Amino acid sequence: MTTTANGSWTLTHTSRAHAGSRPHHAAIVCEGRITTYGKLHRESNRAAHALRVSGVQRGDRVAYLGRESENYYLVILACAKAGAVLVPVNWRLTPDEVDHILRDSGATLVFVDDEFWATATKVRPHLPEFHTMIRIDGTDAEGEPARGAGLPAWYADQPDADLEPGTGPDDAVVQIYTSGTTGLPKGAVLAHRSFFTLPQAMRDHDVAWIDWLPDDVALISLPGFGIAGIGWFMHTFNAGGTSVIMPQFDPQEAVRLIRTHRVTTTFAAPAMLQMMAGERTAGPDAFVSLRKICYGAAPMSETLLKQCLETFDCEFAQIYASTETGSVAVCLPPEAHHPGSTVLESVGKPCPGNEVKVVGPDGAELPPGAIGQICVRAPSRMLGYWNLPEATGRTLVGEWLHMGDAGYLDEDGYIYLCDRMNDTIIVAGQNIYPAEVEKALAAHPAVADSAVVGLPDPRWGEAVHAAVVLRPGAQASPRELLLSLRGHLADYKIPGAYHFVDTLPRNPSGKILRRAVRERLSAPARDPLTSAVQ
């Protein structure tokens, strides 16, 4: 079953509806500041009028370089109301990487936090289309500092009357750049409908694997420049709930916010949950308000899941998604999260309204148990990659998104991931999926985290290397780790080299950046990463 678009599925319509029905309800809480639905609607209307006065036309790209706050989501709504497309820029990027996104998107106007003003100023001379910088903490339309005035000074003289941009559910509203685990980031263009189809399909099928309720208080702890952060906010916003925004994740602050604001839902990577669960300030009353936690972006070990179930004492749901799917594609529902569950190693089943298949190199669908590329058909899927028709054609074939993940379906329709297709290690013609080796390493009591990659080898083509993070105070030798894997993995899958590191590089969604690991392991003299190698 495919969920069809509803005419009211636009952020413009939702903003207007909530302003009328619950104007005094808190839409956003950030660092003690409360923005109601009424205020958010009026202020974003004014900002939308200001965008039009600045020359922004329907379909134009408007960039935002700054941390998450009420200003960020106000700008998103303003763009939607002006018919523009918001391009959130990862504030962790280097100037060269910011330059790529601004250049590729063709953004003519950018909102910039004071913290990142130097970065934007550095790239501005090289981008002729980029003519207006608006300082979020106070500026005029030409980008000259006006400290203390704040963003409202830019649109203060504009009316707060509703705008009608003439856009519908299938029109673009946000362009999110992929994390770039391989190659340069690509701009995945999402339509308004991406933020509406999943909750509606859940209601249509009378299931609540993942749900957002009008009285929910959601903790937004992941960056809004990625689909996880912006998606969780948008689903909460569309339901009429309250979003508690974290400009940057900190486990102690996350625990405080959950306790103080009686948070009911959140989405987090497993590493974030592990930090919160181990936070010393988390007393018995810290998490009593939580009703559901969703997690994803990285595998969760059974040991960590057990700890989380005991600590948070609420429902858990695992999600599988990507920027390109626009919303959750697959879910392991709460009822599967219990001791003894036989499907905890899977990522779940397709969400209502979605379909999944596994295909081989020739594109033919494979039977259950056969490993191939996972493909998803979902109504929330992206419109395509911005100005990249060939890349779009490779990823979006008809209505099917080719996810780039290797995996298989079991007889009951549960999906099991093996690894990223481009992370597969080939040793003498044999395929090795790093996640399988990492799972085996995680069973060792001294191992806290690991990343397994392939490095060039003159004899075998590639050799298996493991970057390993040990638990605090724990010790293990490369030989000990090697011996612990024997009998659990085929010999050709066992790493021949073990590099002990303090941390592993991850993207904002929590996924290990194996390309970065490979680069650092390939040049130990320039960037020492190892304390022991065998």
pLDDT in tens, 252-297: 999 999 999 999 999 998 888 988 999 988 887 999 999 999 998 7
pLDDT of res. 152 = 80
Range scoring the smallest mean pLDDT among 111-115, 136-140, 192-196: 136-140
Residues 54 and 168 in one domain: yes
* Closest alpha carbon to 137 in 120, 153, 150: 150
How many whole angstroms separate alpha carbon 414 and alpha carbon 356?
A: 10
Residues 436 and 393 in one domain: no
For residue 71, what are its two tokens? 């200003």
pLDDT of res. 140 = 42
Report if residue 173 sits inside a domain: yes
Q: Which residues pair with 376 in a beta bridge?
A: 356, 401
pLDDT of res. 418 = 79
- Domain boundary, last residue among 350, 385, 420: 420
Residues 153 and 46 in one domain: yes
pLDDT of res. 401 = 97
| Residue 528 pLDDT exceeds 60 | no
Report if residue 306 sits inside a domain: no
For residue 469, what are its two tokens? 């993070």
Report if residue 197 sits inside a domain: no
| Residue 531 pLDDT exceeds 80 | no
Report if residue 159 sits inside a domain: yes
Give the pLDDT band of residue 247 (cuts 50, 70, 90). very high
pLDDT of res. 430 = 67
Give the pLDDT band of residue 183 (cuts 50, 70, 90). low
Q: Report the DSSP pairing between strands 109-112 and 132-135.
A: parallel
Give the pLDDT band of residue 529 (cuts 50, 70, 90). very low
Number of domains in the chain: 3
Residues 414 and 431 in one domain: no
- Domain boundary, last residue among 163, 191, 219: 191
Mean per-residue pLDDT for 405-420?
A: 89
Report if residue 103 sits inside a domain: yes
Residues 407 and 444 in one domain: no
Report if residue 7 sits inside a domain: no
CATH value at residue 74: 3.40.50.12780
**pLDDT for 63-116, tens place per residue?**
999 999 999 999 999 999 999 999 999 888 878 888 889 999 999 999 999 899
Output b/e per residue, 36-52; b: 16+ Cβ within 10 A: bbbbbbbbbbbbbbbbb
Tokens 């290990």 belong to which residue?
A: 512
Residues 431 and 387 in one domain: no
Q: Could you tell me if 80 and 165 are in contact, meaning their C-beta atoms sit under 8 angstroms apart?
A: yes
| Residue 464 pLDDT exceeds 60 | yes
Report if residue 234 sits inside a domain: no
pLDDT of res. 508 = 66
Give the pLDDT band of residue 527 (cuts 50, 70, 90). very low
How many whole angstroms separate alpha carbon 303 and alpha carbon 288?
A: 22
Q: Which residues pair with 468 in a beta bridge?
A: 450, 500
How many whole angstroms separate alpha carbon 442 and alpha carbon 466?
A: 12
Residues 405 and 435 in one domain: no
Residues 513 and 377 in one domain: no
Mean per-residue pLDDT for 322-327?
A: 94
pTM of model > 0.85: no
Distance of CA 182 to the CA centre of its chain: 16
How many whole angstroms separate alpha carbon 376 and alpha carbon 354?
A: 7
Range scoring the smallest mean pLDDT among 89-98, 372-381, 387-396, 440-449: 89-98
pLDDT of res. 436 = 80
pLDDT of res. 131 = 73
Chain mean pLDDT for the chain = 89
pLDDT of res. 143 = 43
Residues 433 and 361 in one domain: no
Residues 361 and 504 in one domain: no
* Residue 115, domain extent: 37-191
Tokens 């029109």 belong to which residue?
A: 171
CATH value at residue 430: 3.30.300.30
CATH value at residue 406: 2.30.38.10
Residues 59 and 106 in one domain: yes
Mean per-residue pLDDT for 432-448?
A: 88
